[in-house]
Structure 1
Amino acid sequence: MAETVVKERKILVAVDGGEESMYALSWCLSNLVSDNSRDTLVLLYAKPLRSAYSSLDGTGYLFSSDVVATMERCNNEMADCVMAKATKICQDFGEVEVETRVENGDARDVICRVAQELVPDVLVMGSHGYGLIKRAFLGSVSHHCAQNVKCPVLVVKRPKSSGNN
């Protein structure tokens, strides 16, 4: 009797709470995760750093501790909300092993650093679908990661709905 080989894969999925990243997660679950593999999905959220200084007149000022604490609390609540939403999508899919990671910093740097550390079989990301001009001003996290990580990168673009043309 032939023994069935079960492949273990680690899939890193970058989530940010936007519809694009949640669509990419759902697509990943439907198209990459299979019954005859033991996949581990690592959900990664990059919590943006809030600058303590703001430069108004060149001298800058320090936010009060109350403002900083409020900003940090909001950041933490956003991270919790994003991870709860992503984890629920995974639970609704069925049996899949899920790990969550929340890291501080710019999404580009965080995703590249975690991909280097974990060495996943694939990195899955959503795409905002910015045009050339917007991408030039805002930058593209998925493009940056595709150029800088050593694992395969799958960028999933959410189809346009018929009402948004």
Structure 2
Amino acid sequence: MERRIVVAVDESEESTYALSWCLKNLISESSKDTIILLYVRKPPLEYPELDGTFTAYLFSNNIRATMDKYSKDLAESVMEKAKMICQSSPHVMVETKVGCGDPREVICEQVEKLRGDLLVMGSHGYGAFKRAFLGSVSNHCANNTKLPVLIVKRPKD
């Protein structure tokens, strides 16, 4: 059986745990599964011209270029770490995809474009109060994708 398992990754420990759990519990040596590592960069911030001088200095092209480079470097770092974790399962194929935008929307869009069979995500384990203010990417994806979503909670230390 060949499956395309999309694993949403970010810089969190919960994401790393979900990927490791997926490799240990869903992948067998006889399977011909493909793991698709999906990372979503935040979009570049757009700031209105407030007073001309201050914002022009604060958000100059150099500053924006530096912020964009940091975002790209972070994405590359997260992907390298995730690919290293996947090396523990040398029989699995690994693909990578980096999107840009609101993680909730980009993940939902990409799992369909990538023809995934399953979406695996970590959970930050926010309570109802934090989730009400911060939102839950995993909850949004579970309710807005057409494919099964496996949300992996990291055990409390």
- What is the aligned partner in structure 2 of residue 3 from structure 1? none
* Cα root mean square deviation, aligned: 1.6
- How many residues were matched structurally? 153
Could you give the per-residue CA deviations for residues 16-75 of structure 1, whole angstroms, max 9, x where no partner exists? 011001100000000011122100000000010121216878xx9452000000000100
What residue identity is the alignment partner of 1:106?
D
**What does residue range 10-159 of structure 1 map to in structure 2 within 5 Å?**
10-53=4-47, 61-62=55-56, 63-159=59-155
Tell me the CA shift for residue 120 of structure 1.
Answer: 1.1
Identity %: 56
Q: Which runs of 5 or more residues in structure 2 are unaligned?
A: none
Structure having the higher strand fraction is: 1
* d(CA) in 2 for partners of 1:135, 1:50: 24
Q: Distance in 1 between matches of 2:132 and 2:44?
A: 23
The residue matched to 1:93 in structure 2 has which SS?
A: coil
Further displaced range: 90-99 or 64-73: 90-99
Q: Tell me if the contact between 1:20 and 1:127 (Cα under 8 Å) persists in the aligned partners.
A: yes
**CA distance 1:46–1:137, change in 2 (3 Å):** same
The runs of 5 or more residues in structure 1 that have no matched partner are 1-6
Given the two structures, how large is their TM-score scaled by the length of structure 1? Answer: 0.88
Distance 2:50 2:136 in 1: 28
Taking the aligned partners of 1:147 and 1:56, their CA distance within structure 2 comes to 39
2:77 counterpart letter in structure 1:
C
Is residue 119–residue 151 contact of structure 1 (8 Å, CA) maintained in 2?
no
CA distance in 1, matches of 2:72, 2:116: 26
Query: RCO greater where, 1 or 2, for CA within 8 Å and sep 6 or more?
Result: 2
